[in-house]
Structure 1
C-alpha cells in the first residue's frame, strides 16, 4: 500500500489535474493524502465535493512544505502504509508511474526510488537525478547516462528532491521524518536523502517512472524570472528562496566532508550571491 502525500497551498488547478491523473494509474493499491495548509481557494471543499475518496488533512498556513509532508507521513504510518510517496501538486504522473516505481523497489529492495521529470510542454526529460561534487559545489546531471535501449533503468544518485520520491516505511523507522525544524521548506528533501544514505539505504532515480512537471510554476523560479532587489532578498533570505543562505550553510555543514567544507561552502555561497542575476 502506497500513501501518496501531497502538501498544497492554493493552486487548485494543479491539485485537480494531479489527482485525476493519479486516479488513472495502472497500479491501484494506493491512497491519496492531501495536506491543505490554509488554502484560500477552497481546495479542501472542492476535494470533498469532487474527490471524496481523497484524505484531506488541514494546516493553518504555518506548515510549509516540510511540515505538510511530515503531517501526511505521520498519518500514513498510523494507517500501516508500506511506502510513502512524497509528491508535489504541480506534477502529472504518467498512467504507469506508480507501477514503474514499484518495479524499481523489486529490483532494489529497501531503496528509495525517485522519479524522472518530463517537461509538460516540450515532453523532454528535464531531470533524472544528480550526483554531488562537494569540491566544486556542482552536481553531475545524470540525464546523459540514460540508455534509451534499456527498460527499467535505475540511476544511482547522491541525493534526491521530494517531488516524486517513493520511500519504504523502514526508512522512517531508522532516521525519522524530514527535518522540519532546520529546513521548514527548501533543502529538507536533500537533507533527508543524505541522511538515508548515511544510514545504509540506497537512493535511485527510475528512468521509466516519469512525472510531468511545470518548471515555471515553482516559487523559486518565479523569483528568478522577475528580477528585483526585493526578490533578490527573498531569494537569499526568504522562506521561498531556493538559495536561502542560512539553510544552505546548515545543509553543507551537515553533509559535506569536513576536509572539503571550507572550499565548498565558499564556492557555494559565491554562486548563490551571483547566480540570481545570471539565470534567465
Structure 2
C-alpha cells in the first residue's frame, strides 16, 4: 500500500507558547514523510513566532507559520490554513486538522493515514482522552427528531476500550482528524460566519460526510486533551447566575443558544429543526442552572455529550 502521499497538519493557536512547545515535542513521534506542519498564529510576532522560527532549523520537515488575527476565533483562524492548503496541495494529499492542546506519543499520522487508505473516501479521527478516560471523539445520531445522540466510549476508562476499532459515526470533532485534500476542494472551508467557534468542526465533518467521506473514530490512535484550555465550562458556577446568563451569548460559550440554533439550521434535516431547536434551548437552560454532579445524576455520563 502506497504511503507516499503528503500529509499537511493544520493547527491554530493564540497566545499558547507552552502548548506549542509541547505539541512540537509530540511531533517528534511523527516519522511519516512527506510531512508539513502549518501553525496558524492568531497573535503573530509573539513568543510562539520565536519558537516556530527556532524549530524550523531543527526539523527535517517544513514548518509554516501563517499569520492570523487576534480578533478572529477558531473557525476563521483554521480557515487561513485550509485556504493555503487548497491553493498549494494536490488533491491526493491529506490534511490533518488538530488542536494545539493535544499531546501524543505515537506516529499518529502514519496510523491514521494507513486506516484512511484502507477505507477509501473517509475522514479518520483519533479517540480523545482526558484524566485516563475517553471523552467525546465522535457523534452517532440515534434520532434527529429527538436530538438523541451517542458518543462512543465517552466516559469509559481507556483501559476498557478495545484497541484498533473502527467506529462509524455521523460527524467528528477536529481535535485530530485526517481527510483528503480533494474533500476540502469539494466542500469548501469551515462555516466561520455561522459558527465562529463551537460546533464548526462538527458541521464541517458533517458536510464532508454528505459528500461521501465517511467519518470514523479509530481507537488505534489516542490523544490526550487539555479540556480546560479554551472556552467556558458549562458545569461550574464560579460566578453568579446573572453572570452565567449574561455569559451565554459569549462566542466561546458552548451553550450559546444563537450558535446552537445556527448549527441546527446547517446540519439537521428540515423535519427535525423545530424539535431540535426546542431541545437545545432546554439543554442550554439545564447547563446554565445545574452543576456538573446534578447533570451527571440526571442524564448519566458514559457515551453522552455531557461527558465532555
2:135 aligned counterpart, secondary structure: strand
1:220-231 alignment runs, 5 A limit: 220-221=232-233, 224=236, 226-228=238-240, 229-231=242-244
Separation in 2, partners of 1:224, 1:84? 35
Q: 1:143 aligns with which of 128, 145, 153?
A: 153
Task: Give unmatched runs, 5+ long, in structure 2.
Answer: 1-5, 293-308
Q: 1:64 aligns with which of 73, 76, 87?
A: 73
Shift of 1:261: 1.9
1:73 aligned counterpart, secondary structure: helix
Shift of 1:77: 2.5
> 2:138 aligns to what?
129
Question: Taking structure 2 as the reference length, what is the TM-score of the superposition?
Answer: 0.82
Shift of 1:55: 1.0
> 2:177 aligns to what?
165
Cα 1:210–1:112, aligned 2, differ >3 Å: closer, same or farther?
same
Cα 1:195–1:147, aligned 2, differ >3 Å: closer, same or farther?
farther
Cα 1:195–1:22, aligned 2, differ >3 Å: closer, same or farther?
same
Shift of 1:92: 0.4
1:25 has 2:39 as partner: no
Separation in 2, partners of 1:2, 1:257? 33
Shift of 1:207: 0.8
Of 222-231 and 243-252, the range deviating more from structure 2: 222-231
Separation in 1, partners of 2:252, 2:161? 39
> 1:207 aligns to what?
219
CA contact (8 A) 1:100 1:206 kept: no
Of 252-261 and 61-70, the range deviating more from structure 2: 252-261
CA RMSD of aligned residues (A): 2.5
Q: 2:13 aligns with which of 8, 18, 22?
A: 8
Cα 1:219–1:150, aligned 2, differ >3 Å: closer, same or farther?
closer
Query: Residue by residue, what CA displacement relative to the aligned partner does 1:19-60 show, whole Å, maximum 9, x if unpaired?
Result: 111122243432111101026852112221244452111122
Separation in 2, partners of 1:135, 1:255? 12
Cα 1:140–1:34, aligned 2, differ >3 Å: closer, same or farther?
same
Separation in 1, partners of 2:272, 2:231? 31
Task: Give unmatched runs, 5+ long, in structure 1.
Answer: none
Separation in 1, partners of 2:231, 2:239? 13
1:246 aligned counterpart, secondary structure: helix
> 1:96 aligns to what?
107
Aligned residues: 277
Question: Taking structure 1 as the reference length, what is the TM-score of the superposition?
Answer: 0.89
